[in-house]
């Protein structure tokens, strides 16, 4: 089970691929598994609570052994070890040893009984993935006032280019249609020399195959015009930019230690839109940070209405031990945080509706993630456009991982409906 960011997803996918190569049957949500690995998140108190809940759920599902790893296992190792359901805690610093640890644990189980190999649809062991998450960077050198990630993942470090390229080749050999490059501070790959990131992207661009590249969350401080120009020259990069805004009020941004103003952020968004036609710009926004009064929240709300992003990821501030803001008064009442969060979620739904509606009549590129069948045969394909919209596609001869050109015909309960035009 994986909680949290795309970096966690990338690490979990890699672990599952390595175990599948060794003959293990891997999947999510298996009842009565021999071994459950819970890859936890600790970025907020809510994510911590969800991580603990998944540990207890794994025990109720009858897991013989439970391994807990991830950010929560790093910053609260002793507390997690104290949970009666947990057999082994592996902090972030030990994630590279997970394959060996799982194999050792499996041998212990096999000493008394044979491992089970249930038939579980959707397992990595029995089918291709359309989208592969690949971690190219980890850790962060910034010290935002609210963020616990530097404690959990340490200083910024980039995965060597040769290792990234080998993982990319492996993913393409397995039929990947989309590569999602992930990092805690992705745009800082190879920092301080941004040419390192562009150099990596250029090498991936020149590999053979029918695939595209999506970049996960990138901080505004690292995205200068030269980096964007270099990305625009590449043909495989998806026009989707996920940016952590956090607040649209300058005083709040300063207390957060974000390193940019709303004016800086607006210029970045304007630059992106001047280079790509109607790109998907999705934003992280935090509500209830200490000192965020009605005026400050109003500035955030009006700024978002002005920017008109495609979608928002909204979350509540929660004090995290070891951060600067943990010592400050958490002066926004919980009910007020909830109300502000509801307002932004409502705004996000409306923004998403508008952005999706603009796609009707357009042609888009879709990577197919799943096929659905009935007794009558093929029904539809489900996939993701280059600008990060879910689509249902009619048409035969489609395969998972393939990239197809489609025409957006309309919307059905928030999902776009499309007809097949041809290959990419």
* Reported confidence tier of residue 118, pLDDT bands at 50, 70, 90: low
Is the pLDDT at 113 greater than 70? The verdict is no
Q: Tell me, which fold does domain 125-357 have in CATH?
A: pyruvate-formate lyase- activating enzyme (3.80.30)
Measure the CA–CA gap between 422 and 195, rounded to whole angstroms. Answer: 35
Q: Tokens 């909680």 correspond to what residue?
A: 3
**377-385 and 390-394 strand pairing:** antiparallel
Would you give the DSSP letter of residue 312? E
**Which pLDDT does position 10 carry in this prediction?**
94
Homologous superfamily (CATH) of 363-423 is: Nucleic acid-binding proteins (2.40.50.140)
Domain boundaries of the chain, sorted by first residue: 6-120, 125-357, 363-423
CATH of domain 6-120: 3.40.50
User: Given this chain, do its domains 6-120 and 363-423 carry the same CATH topology?
Assistant: no
126 band by pLDDT with thresholds 50, 70 and 90: very low
Q: What is the pLDDT of residues 41-81, one digit of tens each?
A: 999 999 999 999 999 999 999 999 999 999 999 999 999 99
- 114: Cβ–Cβ under 8 A, 6 or more apart, which residues? none
223-279, pLDDT tens digit by residue? 889 999 999 999 999 999 999 999 999 999 999 999 999 999 999 999 999 999 999
Are the C-beta atoms of residues 191 and 153 closer than 8 Å to each other? no
**Alpha-helical runs (H) found in 233-307:** 250-256, 262-275, 294-307
Show Cβ contacts of residue 417 under 8 Å, excluding neighbours closer than 6 positions: 391, 392, 394, 408, 409, 410, 411
The DSSP secondary structure of 127-196, one letter per residue, reads S--SEEEEE-EE--S---TT--HHHHH-S-EE--HHHHHHHHHHHHHTT-SEEEEE-TTGGGTTTT-THH
What confidence score (pLDDT) does residue 380 get?
83
d(CA 104, CA 379): 44
In this prediction, residue 116 has a pLDDT band, given cuts at 50, 70 and 90, of low
User: Which of 239, 231, 149, 147 shows the shortest CA–CA distance to 189?
Assistant: 231
Give how far Cα 332 sits from Cα of 46, 291, 340, 345, 355, Å. Answer: 17, 8, 10, 18, 32
pLDDT at 30: 80
């Amino acid at each position: 089970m994986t909680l949290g960011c795309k970096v966690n997803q990338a690490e979990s996918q890699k672990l599952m691929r390595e175990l599948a190569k060794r003959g293990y049957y891997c999947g999510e949500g298996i009842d009565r598994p021999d071994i459950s690995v819970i890859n936890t998140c600790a970025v907020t108190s809510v994510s911590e609570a969800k991580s603990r809940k998944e540990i207890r759920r794994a025990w109720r599902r009858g897991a013989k052994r439970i391994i807990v790893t991830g950010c929560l296992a790093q910053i609260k190792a002793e507390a997690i070890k104290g949970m009666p359901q947990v057999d082994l805690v592996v902090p972030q610093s030990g994630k590279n040893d997970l394959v060996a640890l799982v194999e050792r644990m499996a041998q212990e189980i096999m000493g008394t009984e044979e491992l089970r190999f249930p038939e579980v649809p959707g397992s990595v062991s029995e089918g291709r993935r359309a989208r592969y998450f690949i971690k190219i960077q980890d850790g962060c050198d910034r010290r935002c006032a609210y963020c616990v990630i530097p404690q959990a993942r340490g200083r910024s470090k980039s995965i060597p280019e040769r290792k990234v390229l080998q993982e990319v080749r492996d993913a393409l050999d397995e039929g990947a249609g989309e590569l999602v490059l992930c990092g805690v501070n992705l745009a800082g790959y190879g920092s301080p020399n941004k040419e390192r990131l562009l150099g990596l992207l250029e090498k991936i661009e020149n590999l053979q195959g029918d695939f595209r590249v999506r970049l996960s969350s990138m901080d505004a401080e690292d995205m200068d015009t030269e980096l964007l120009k270099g990305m625009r020259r590449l043909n495989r990069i998806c026009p989707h930019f996920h940016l952590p805004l956090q607040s649209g009020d300058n005083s709040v941004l300063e207390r957060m230690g974000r390193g940019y103003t709303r004016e800086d952020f607006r210029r970045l968004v304007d630059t992106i839109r001047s280079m790509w036609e109607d790109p998907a710009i999705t934003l992280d926004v935090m509500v209830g940070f200490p000192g965020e009064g009605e005026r400050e929240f109003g500035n955030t709300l009006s700024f978002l209405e002005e920017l008109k992003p495609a979608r928002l990821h909204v979350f509540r501030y929660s004090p995290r031990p070891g951060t600067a803001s943990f010592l400050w008064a958490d002066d926004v009442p919980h009910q007020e945080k909830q109300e502000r969060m509801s307002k932004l979620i409502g705004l996000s739904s409306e923004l998403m509706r508008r952005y999706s509606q603009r796609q009707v009549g357009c042609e888009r590129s879709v990577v197919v993630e799943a096929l659905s069948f009935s007794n009558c045969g093929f029904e539809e394909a489900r996939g993701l456009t280059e600008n990060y919209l879910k689509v249902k596609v009619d048409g035969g001869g489609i395969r998972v991982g393939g990239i197809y050109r489609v025409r957006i015909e309309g919307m059905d309960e928030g999902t776009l409906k499309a007809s097949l035009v041809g290959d990419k």
